[in-house]
Amino acid sequence: MGRTAVVQRLADAGLVAVLRGVPGDALPVVVDALVAGGVAAVELTADTPGVVEALTAGSADPRVTVGVGTVREPAAVGELVDAGAAFVVSPVCDPGVVAAAHTAGVPAAAGCLTPTEVHAAMDADADIIKIFPASVASPALLAGLRATLDPPPLMPTGGISPTTVGDYLDAGAACVGVGGSLLAGTDPAAPDGDRIRSAAEAHMAAVTAARG
């Protein structure tokens, strides 16, 4: 699948579930619960032990588009994509990570918080701009960036909840990245599937409402 098609999948999904610290043996429970709640895209963080094996297992699930996040080293990209990552997300704007992802044939999301960083990410040909942390970036910032820079699709991530999802989508976000509020109150190593499903349903209801 080409880079543009993957980006469109993420935009269509509306929400990317960011999974940090979920061990491989618990991943099926978490993914099943997320899918039951309407989630169609998942990001496994590169700092999770066993992430390579988890990517291989997750990428075999046709119900979700699986990528990898928290990637800061260009040298790490190849192995992660070979393991099955369909997209690469970095918390920073590193042109080397973007280039490595493109060499491997997948889209890259560059982490940015300021117009200068967004401009640099655009120069690096990032496919997605990850606005991070969204907890300190208001929806008005997204609207301003879109009005002045005409950036690639924006994906605010960090600190987003069902009550704020709509604000970011209304401001022009292509999708949102959500982690903590999906897994709140459950142990990643022993996940509560029902709790995760309910959280996913609440977030996806907000996505649907924002999109009319």
Summarised one tens digit per residue, pLDDT across range 81-110 is 999 999 999 999 999 999 999 999 999 999
Whether the predicted model's global pTM rises above the 0.95 cut:
yes
Q: For 58-80, what is the mean pLDDT? A: 97
Share of the chain above pLDDT 70, in %: 100
pLDDT band at 212 (very low <50, low <70, confident <90, very high): confident
Quickly list DSSP for the chain.
Answer: --HHHHHHHHHHH-EEEEE-S--TTTHHHHHHHHHHTT--EEEEETTSTTHHHHHHHHHT-TTSEEEEE----HHHHHHHHHTT-S-EE-SS--HHHHHHHHHTT--EEEEE-SHHHHHHHHHTT-SEEEE--GGGS-HHHHHHHHHHH--S-B--BSS--HHHHHHHHHTT-S-EEE-HHHHTTSBTTB--HHHHHHHHHHHHHHHHHHT-
